[in-house]
Amino acid sequence: MKLKATSLFLGLCLAILAVAASPAYASKNRAMTAFGAFHVEINTLTHYPGNPYLCLYENNGAVVNYCKYTVDLEFGLPIDTPGTKNIIVQDGWSGLGTGTENFSCLSFAYSGSEGSSNVGTEIPFTGPTQSLTSTVSVSDGVTSIQVLCNVPPGDAVANFNWNP
């Protein structure tokens, strides 16, 4: 009897895993808070007067810039397949800081080789609580996309939703 119960339990677990892995139940979109996906962009052209990581804070998942200067933030987003990717970017909501919510974000798809990327559409934020879409074309072999945002003092990036 114990062998039958164990076999039945294992069979049930296998059936649940098969259903969960089937394409019909696969997620059609992904979401991530901005704070969970960000890095400060540092390259040969960026010169910050201090360490930006010391004045970037989290507020309900958003990255809020409390620095006295604009910080370039980059957000890495994983993808599963090639094709057109629509990335909905949500900026911060009213009351996060003293910013004007006037900044822009731009998406990229990287192949991993030097100088090889597809540039997506730029989105300009002009006020709080906006959700705007940047679109980028992803070629075969590309496994990640990135969104770059130049976030002024007091402004924030809150959330991302995209098709993987």
| DSSP classification of residue 92 | P
Give, in order, the Cα–Cα distances in Å from 141 to each of 37, 82, 90, 113, 115: 22, 7, 28, 11, 15
Q: Is 73 contained in some domain?
A: yes
pLDDT in the model for residue 8: 44
Give which of 120, 115, 114, 113 is closest to 145, Cα–Cα. 120
Measured distance CA(48)–CA(160) in Å, rounded: 26
For residue 5, being part of any structural domain is answered with no
With respect to residue 111, please indicate whether it lies within any of the assigned structural domains. Answer: yes
- CATH number for 65: 2.60.120.260
- The pLDDT value recorded for residue 116 is 67
Q: To the nearest whole number, what is the mean pLDDT of the chain? A: 82
22, part of any domain: no
Give the pLDDT score at 151: 94
Domain span at 59: 27-162
Inside any domain, residue 66: yes
Residue with structure tokens 């933030």?
Answer: 73
pLDDT < 50: residue spans in the chain: 5-26, 95
Task: Determine the pLDDT at residue 24.
Answer: 45
pLDDT at 128: 84
Number of domains in the chain: 1
Backbone φ, ψ for residue 68 (5° rounding): -90, 10
| Long-range CB contact pairs, 15-23, < 8 A, 24+ | none
pLDDT at 142: 82
H-helix or E-strand spanning residue 33: strand 30-33
Sign of the alpha-carbon torsion through 58, 62, 66, 71 = positive
pTM for the structure as a whole: 0.77
